[in-house]
Amino acid sequence: MDPNTLKALQGAAGGGSEPYSGDLADAHTSSPYLSVYPFTSGTGFGTKYANPSSLPAGMGYSVAFSPDGADLVGAMSSSPYINAYAWNSGTGFGTKYSNPSSLPPANSYGCAFSPDGATIALTAQYSPYVTAYPWSSGFGTKYSNPSSGLPARGRALTFSPDGADLAVTHNNSPCVSVYSWSSGFGGKYSNPSTLPTGHGFSAAFSPDGTYLAVAHTSSPYISVYPWTSGSGFGTKYADPSTLPASGAAGVTFSPDGADLAVGCGSTPYIQVYPWSGSGFGTKYANPSSLPGGYMNDGIAFTPDGADLATCHAGNPYLSVYPWTSGSGFGTKYSTPSTLPGGENRSLSFTPAAA
C-alpha cells in the first residue's frame, strides 16, 4: 500500500454517518503517471480530474495526499524523483511546488507524510535509500540521513499514528527497519527476533499503533508484530491458517483495526483477514470479481471503512469493492470511464471531503 493513506484514514475514521466523498489518487507506469478521481462510497468513481499542467517526468511508484488533503505528492522514477502539487478537491491539481534544493536519490519508490503533515519521507533505489524533508506547502532543507542506514533498496515506509516512529521496508535482511522520529531520524530499533522472509515490500501500523504488519516476498508473505514505541518489536504473531498468495506487496489495516488486507502477486490477488489481539482470524471469502492482475503496494480502505480499493498490473488497473467487517466484499464498483495509464503501483484517498 502507499504508506500515507493509512495516516489519512486514521485521521478521518470514526466520525458521522455520511458516506465518504473525496478523491482517489493513483500512481502508474504510463503518462500522465498520476491520475485522480472523485470517489463516493455507494456510488463509485466520478470523472477523472484534468492532468496537472506540469506532468511528472517518469513512472509513478507511490502517491500520497497530505493529512489535510491540501497537497499531493508522487514518488517517481525520473528526476527530480518527487513531484508535489497543491490540491483542491473539486478543481484538482494546482501549481507544482518547486523541487527540493537537495534531490532524493534516483528512483523514489515510496512516499509518506507524517501524521501532522510536517514531514515528507521517501525511499529510493540508491543510497541512502531513505530521505526526509520538512514540509509546509513546499520542501524545507533535507534532514540528515539516519546514522544506521538501510542495507539495500528502500521499498515503502509509514509513520506510526503518533508520529514517533518511522517504519521502512527494504530489500535484504532484516527486510524492515524502524527508526524513532522527532524532527529527524533517531536511533534504529533492534530488529525483530523473527525476521520477515524475502524482500520487505510494504508495512502498516494498526490505527492504535499497537501492531506493525509487514508484507514480504517469501512465505509466509505476511508478518505481524506487537509494537511499543520506545521498546520496539514484540514476538511475531502466528501465521494465518490460510497464507496469502505468493509475493505479498501491499498491506493495510481497516480504520477500526478489525481487519487486515493483503495484496498479493498471484490469484486471488487480494486477501483479507479479521484481526484482533489474538491475531489472524479465518480469511474472508474472495471477491466474486477479482482484481485484474498482481498487486503492488496500492491497497487502502476509505476513511469510513466502507470500501476497499486495490490497484494492480492488469486492466482496469483499479478495483474498488464495498466492504463490511464481519461479512466481507460486496460487488465491485464499475471501473472509471477513463482508466489510469498502465500498471498501477500505489493509491491514496483524501482524508475527508474538501
CATH number at residue 233: 2.130.10.10
The number of residues in the chain equals 354
Q: Is 354 part of a structural domain of the chain?
A: no
Residue 65 lies in a domain: yes
Number of domains in the chain: 1
- Domain presence at residue 101: yes
Say whether pLDDT at 100 is over 60: yes
Question: Could you report the per-residue pLDDT of 232-260, keeping only the tens digit for each?
Answer: 999 999 999 999 988 888 999 999 999 99
126-to-123, 195, 214, 275 alpha-carbon distances in Å: 9, 23, 22, 35
pLDDT per position as a tens digit, 271-288 = 999 999 999 999 999 999
Is there a domain that residue 98 lies in?
yes
Q: Is position 195 within any domain?
A: yes
Q: Name the band, by pLDDT with cuts 50, 70 and 90, for residue 6.
A: very low
Domain that holds residue 183: 5-14+20-349
Q: What share of the chain is helix, strand, coil (3-state, %, to 5)?
A: 0, 40, 55
Whether 227 is in a domain gets the answer yes
Is position 292 within any domain?
yes
Domain presence at residue 323: yes
Average pLDDT score over residue span 326-354: 89
Cell numbers found for residue 9:
484514514
